[in-house]
Amino acid sequence: MGIKGKVGCGCLIGILVIIMVLAGLSLHPVSLRFLGKSFRYEDKIVPADAIFVPRFQEDHNGELYVEAFREYFSGNGKVVYIENDKVLGTDIYDLVSRLAKSRGIKDNVTKPLYAEDREDRKTSFFKQKLKEAGLKKVIVVVPEYASRRYHNMYDPTRDGGAVLYMIKPAKVSYFRADRWWRDELSRSLMAREFYASLLYYYSMLRKEKTG
């Protein structure tokens, strides 16, 4: 049953990719760039209590963590929280800690957050943990193509404004924002974001109807 769900999800993403490719053949590049930019959102960044970096599997070179370290050195956060995960038995947090140390960041600056098996409610889990840490302002560093969705997911008005989340979209080399329709990985990421955004809005509609 679980396998069928994964296959269905993969087929749907494939269909979305095909639709977006066909759109790329029929639309002008200016329109496609506008479509790509509609996925981008950016908050005005002010000094915060912490910086949070969610895990993106496609960020193989740790570009999001480097961006978070830039914010830290700019004085925009006192601590950097990392969504922890395991890759081939190795903690992502351990790798990021080494990266931080190589850039002159002390060990107590980076902290792990591990959602374990809470995949379906991971965002709520992280928000609760950050709130329990006594944080009032948190910068969330994500790739540009995912920033609009994260803005909606971390909208402080949904939690009564207990914590102010500021979305920091980071430019990453593996996503070609100006020509996403011509790059296989970029097309795939755009299709995935479209699919994830639809799921998010659908879940919110269900909550409003049942709530």
> pLDDT value at position 1?
40
pLDDT tens digits for range 147-160: 999 999 998 777 66
Sequence-distant (≥ 6) Cβ neighbours of residue 173 within 8 angstroms = 61, 63
- CA–CA separation, 80 vs 72, rounded Å? 8
C-alpha distances in Å from residue 71, one per residue of 61, 113, 131, 138, 144: 18, 19, 20, 11, 16
Cα(196)–Cα(208) distance, integer angstroms: 19
Residue 195: pLDDT band with limits 50, 70, 90:
confident
Residue 4: how many CB atoms within 10 A of its CB?
8
For the purposes of burial, counting CB atoms within 10 Å of the CB of 52, is it exposed (0-12), middle (13-18) or buried (19 or more)? buried
pLDDT (tens digit, 9 = 90+) per residue, 111-146? 999 876 665 688 888 999 999 999 999 999 999 999
pTM score > 0.85 for this model?
no
Helices 2-26 and 184-210: crossing angle in degrees, nearest 10, is 120
| pLDDT tens string 59-83 | 999 999 999 999 999 999 999 999 9
